[in-house]
Structure 1
Amino acid sequence: MIRTAILFSSHLLGETVLARLGKLRAEAPPGHDVFFYYDETKLRHSQVTRRAGGAIPHGSYDWSQYKRPCGYFPGKIPGNEDGMLLSAFHRLPGYDYYWYLEYDVVYSGHWEDFFSGFADNSADMLSTSITRHDQIPDWPLWKSLELPDGITLPSEKWLRSFNPILRLSRAALETLAAEYHQHAWAGHSECVMPTVLDYRGLRIEDIGGDGEFVPQGRENYFYRNNRMDKSLSPGTFVFRPAMAAPGSEPNLLWHPVKDPDHHTWDKASGLPAFLSTRLSALIKRNKLI
């Protein structure tokens, strides 16, 4: 059986995040192992494992062993999520595919239906909003892309992806690890990852949306947006603005689903998710609130 890891990424550990994690775990198909992929600079491991179960830290302290920081983005976030994924890949060997999913992504359907839709898909990279440089030359993050010495790559070969949800094959991660180590590519993950993988001849597909990387029959199937706009708006899967709740249409990806002031959005109760849910139900039943 093909083995797939799903990394649910978050720096928050409140009731909303835990509910989304619980839904994902309950609905993931067989052969898909869900890990709470957490920011260890914000959350303690003991706290995470007590409340969220199986977990793995981002790799906040060793990601730069796997990817050279670029001049524009020297820190882990924004822009170096691929370095963290390579750290996780080395700590979670043995999987054929690795999904990365941010906490503010919502699927308005059953997750098993979504993941099963790609079970027989052998693409090395699945992402969203994949677009060439010549279509969006004013995208601000192109300036971060640093080509290795001795490699000339015309700008029409530069690719942009939008990665709040992303799947990489083992071959893709091995290729990125080798290219980053041997040739010191650098740049924001949204441009350096797809550009490197395409340069090395790996297969890249868009999850849905529109454009040349969307297979026939999958156009606008799992999400919609305007990939030519810097904000990707309007659509269901955008960079900005944030939305308080997903839309009513079923079986679509929505992002970012969170209160714009997310410092107060995801309140931690201090209780494991199942106890918090039971306590809330008990309080309401007895009309204590």
Structure 2
Amino acid sequence: MKVCVLFLTHQSNASIIDHFDSIELPPGWSKYLLVDENSCAVSEFGDRSVVGFCHESLVKVGYHPISGTLIPGSAHFPVIEFAYTRKVDFVWAIEFDVQWTASWLDFFNEFDDYADFLATRVRRYETDANWCWWDSLKPPPGATIEWNHPNASLASFNPIYRLSAAAVCALRKRFLLGWSGHCEVTIPTLLEQDGLVVADMGGVSGFTPNAQRDRIYTFETMQWRPEFSLQDVPTFEPNLLYHPVKH
């Protein structure tokens, strides 16, 4: 299979570059730095495989960000466009401030090709009804949502995730038709509504396969805030994902 790992960053410094360089891949896979050119230049990463993106070019394709920049909530657009144009079977997206406390090669080998979307903290509306981004999901102008939103909606935490080719195509079609919203509600909700498989890569949710249950991460290690620092890394538990680890 053609599998690609995209390392997303809007910053350039030695520790971020070292982090990218340390990601070991299974045979035949490829990896790229996916760089926000509104924040730093592609040339800052030397001779590594780098793909730049910017808000304006993605809007021209037909995507509809929820604000004037891709952060918050729209950083999935360059991932989808890259995977669609490169015709990959699976794409991993990893933000620069995600840390895995073991070999990345071992991490990737944890997962089979069952799920179309793998993420962390996958949940239904009724388990987290006060989450702030539920109502960001909007249909195209003149259209209606085909289900009982928000009660049928899913959310996920997406500093690291994986999409299949089928998921990429389904999402791209939806987004270019005018669907919009924060990626942590649009991706899992729209994919489930399109009949694709949404799974949690670890944790203890009802979406977690038995083999990954109570592994890979905890709610304390994968969070929005507070931040970790690189100085905290030696204290991290092994074989867990951590976020956000600021460089």
Contact 1:58 1:85 in 2 (8 A): no
Counterpart AA for 1:208: G
2:102 is aligned with 1:109: yes
Unaligned 5+ runs, structure 2: none
Distance 2:195 2:54 in 1: 28
TM-score by length of 2: 0.91
Report Cα offsets for 1:47-90 as digits up to 9, x if no partner.
33x2x6111113432222242234xx343111112222223224
Counterpart AA for 1:153: W
2:228 is aligned with 1:243: yes
Q: Which 4+ runs in 1 deviate beyond 6 A?
A: none
Report the equivalent of 1:12. Answer: 11
Report the equivalent of 2:147. Answer: 153
For residue 93 of structure 2, the aligned residue among 94, 100, 122 is: 100
2:33 is aligned with 1:39: no
Q: What do you get for the CA RMSD once the two structures are aligned? A: 1.6
SS of the residue corresponding to residue 21 of structure 2 reads helix
Counterpart AA for 2:160: I
More strand by share: 2
Distance 1:213 1:5 in 2: 24
Distance 1:59 1:173 in 2: 19
Contact 1:68 1:185 in 2 (8 A): yes
Which stretch shifts more, 53-62 or 187-196?
53-62
For residue 115 of structure 2, the aligned residue among 97, 106, 123 is: 123
- 1:181 deviates by 2.3
Contact 1:66 1:87 in 2 (8 A): no
TM-score by length of 1: 0.79
The number of residues matched between the two structures is 240
Report the equivalent of 1:205. Answer: 199
Unaligned 5+ runs, structure 1: 226-234, 259-265, 267-289
Contact 1:66 1:177 in 2 (8 A): no
2:16 is aligned with 1:22: no
Contact 2:81 2:172 in 1 (8 A): no
Report the equivalent of 1:218. Answer: 212
- 1:30 deviates by 1.0
Distance 2:11 2:129 in 1: 34
Identical-residue share of aligned pairs (%): 31
- 1:20 deviates by 0.5
Contact 2:6 2:79 in 1 (8 A): no
